[in-house]
């Protein structure tokens, strides 16, 4: 079978022919129909992600497909079941073997492309805003990178939770995507002063930041007293340094979030979150925005779309 693999951290990943995997006890073999790309894939390619496997490994953190078979003495979804999986790797391949406790049944009305674009982006935003920030109806939410994979879901979920949402993105096209997702106010990061614009709107109670760099600093300075800031990632390539003296003066709180980390110490947080999110999807309240669907032989192109910020929402690969 074909798989898009990292063989070492000094060369670019490529498609290789590898043996079909055999499920061990406790695992299911899945025919992969779609795999969502994430910024973490770009970090893994260079060995810079906190959970990077040892090479060789197959890229692709989250995927969706159909169960093909189960390992010996394993109880799990029956062959033919439609499932979504967060595995941390292995999604950019035609098949894969994954622990059965990572398989999540997906609603009948959900496409494989939507399922593959769903777990990390919506899960990250939901856990960030509800579990970490404890955001309340009527509060003001500032979303940086608001047209990206996670940022766009923060706009949607923020509106569902009753917030006034300020969306910040680069360029009119991306801002239009955020507006359609429910943003109340739009700020163009290329041409407008983020700090001044947010302060003119009364300031932010919650900041959701997958960008870092100068945008973090501007948002930090536009916060209301007792605001909560959530660093999600650093798409700018610059990890901001947090001035503790300014936190003290304005009684600010910075809340770190690594969504996948909950699998190790509090998996119920993710289970409860995903249950609510799938229910919202079934009720028509959420609709993943997928800007590109590409075949496996164009996986490198899909990753470049993320790197160059030319995509909106999610990029999905269909092995």
pLDDT tens-digit series, residues 145-198: 999 999 999 999 999 999 999 999 999 999 999 999 999 999 999 999 999 999
Same domain, 113 and 216: no
- Pair 68, 137 in one domain: no
Give domain status of residue 283, yes or no. no
Q: 281 in a domain, yes or no?
A: no
Structural domains in the chain (count): 2
Closest CA to 25 of 74, 78, 68: 74
Q: Are residues 128 and 112 in the same domain?
A: no
Please state whether 26 falls in left (phi above 0), alpha (psi between -120 and 50) or beta.
left
Same domain, 102 and 177: no
Q: Supply the angle between the helices 119-126 and 267-282 in degrees, to the nearest 10.
A: 110
Largest CA distance in the chain: 62
Judged by phi (left if over 0) then psi (alpha if -120 to 50, else beta), residue 171 lies in: left
> Quick one: pLDDT at residue 178?
97
User: Is residue 272 a part of any domain in this protein?
Assistant: no
Position 316 scores a pLDDT of 98
Of residues 85, 64, 78, 95, the one with CA closest to residue 2 = 95
Tell me the pLDDT tens digit for each residue of 195-223.
999 999 999 999 999 999 999 999 999 99
**% of the chain residues with pLDDT over 70:** 100
Domain-embedded: residue 269:
no
Q: How many Å apart are CA 307 and CA 195, to the nearest integer?
A: 26
State the residue for tokens 């007792």.
226
48 pLDDT tier (thresholds 50, 70, 90): very high
Indicate whether 64 and 161 sit together in one domain: no
Q: Is 280 part of any domain?
A: no
Residue 171 domain-assigned? yes
Per residue in 125-154, pLDDT (tens digit) is 999 999 999 999 999 999 999 999 999 999
Whether residues 185 and 57 fall in one domain: no
Classify residue 277 by burial, with Cβ atoms within 10 Å: 0-12, 13-18, 19+.
buried
Looking at the structure, tell me whether residues 162 and 195 fall in a common domain.
Answer: yes
Q: Which residues, 6 or more positions from 81, have their beta carbon under 8 angstroms from its beta carbon?
A: 66, 67, 103, 105
Q: Mean pLDDT, to the nearest integer, of 54-83?
A: 97
At 203 the pLDDT is: 98
Rounded to an integer, the average pLDDT of 236-265 is 93
Same domain, 143 and 199: yes
Q: Are residues 94 and 137 in the same domain?
A: no
Is there a domain that residue 268 lies in?
no
Label each residue of the chain as H, E or C: CEEEEECCCCCCCEEEECCCCCCCCCEEEEEEEEEECCHHHHHHHCCCCCCCCCCCEECCCEEEEEEEEECCCCCCCCCCCEEEEECCCCCCECEEEEEHHHEEECCCCCCHHHHHCCHHHHHHHHHHHHHHCCCCCCCEEEECCCCCCCHHHHHHHHHHCCCEEEEEECCHHHHHHHHHCCCCEEEECCCCCHHHHHHHCCCEEEEEECCCHHHHHHHHCCEEEEEEEEECCCCCCCCCCCCHHHHHHHCCEECCCCHHHHHHHCHHHHHHHHHHHHHHHHCCCCCCCEEEEEEHHHHHHHHHHHHCCCCCEEEEEEC
Question: Is residue 271 in some structural domain?
Answer: no
Please state the pTM of the whole predicted model.
0.90
Q: What local confidence, expressed as pLDDT, does residue 190 receive?
A: 95
Q: What is the pLDDT of residue 13?
A: 97
Domain identity same for 111 and 125: no
My answer on whether 28 and 93 are in the same domain is yes
Domain boundary among 219, 242, 259: 259
| CATH number where 218 lies | 3.90.180.10
Distance, in Å, from the CA atom of 289 to the CA atom of 271, rounded to the nearest integer, reads 23
- Domain extent, residue 97, equals 2-118+288-318
Q: For residues 1 and 96, what is the distance between their CA atoms, to the nearest angstrom? A: 10
Same domain, 143 and 208: yes
């Amino acid at each position: 079978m074909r798989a898009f693999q990292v063989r070492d951290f000094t060369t670019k990943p490529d498609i290789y022919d590898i043996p079909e995997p055999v499920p061990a006890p406790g695992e299911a073999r899945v025919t992969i129909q779609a795999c969502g790309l994430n910024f973490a894939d770009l970090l893994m390619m260079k060995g810079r992600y906190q959970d990077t496997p040892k090479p060789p490994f197959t890229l692709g953190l989250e995927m969706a497909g159909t169960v093909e078979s189960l390992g010996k003495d394993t109880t799990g979804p029956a062959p033919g079941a439609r499932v979504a999986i967060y595995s941390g790797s292995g999604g950019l391949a035609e098949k894969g073997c994954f622990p059965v406790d990572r398989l999540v049944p997906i609603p009948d009305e959900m496409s494989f492309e939507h399922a593959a674009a769903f777990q990390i982006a919506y899960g990250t935003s939901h856990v960030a805003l509800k579990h970490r920030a404890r955001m309340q109806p009527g509060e003001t939410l500032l979303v940086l990178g608001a047209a990206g994979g996670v940022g766009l879901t923060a706009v949607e979920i923020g509106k569902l939770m009753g917030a006034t949402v300020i969306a910040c993105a680069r360029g009119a096209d991306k801002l239009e995507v955020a507006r359609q997702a429910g943003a109340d106010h739009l700020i163009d990061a290329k041409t407008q002063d983020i700090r001044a614009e947010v302060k003119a709107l009364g300031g932010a109670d919650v900041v959701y930041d997958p960008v870092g760099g100068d945008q973090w600093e501007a948002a930090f300075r536009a916060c209301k007293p007792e605001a909560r800031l959530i660093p999600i990632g650093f798409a700018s390539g610059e990890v901001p340094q947090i001035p503790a003296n300014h936190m003290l003066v304005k009684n600010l709180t910075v809340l770190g979030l690594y969504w996948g980390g909950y699998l190790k110490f509090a998996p119920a947080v993710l289970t409860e979150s995903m249950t609510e999110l799938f229910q919202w999807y079934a009720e028509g309240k959420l609709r993943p925005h997928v800007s590109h669907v590409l075949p496996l032989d164009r996986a490198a192109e899909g990753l470049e779309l993320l790197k160059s910020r030319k995509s909106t929402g999610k990029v999905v690969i269909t092995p």
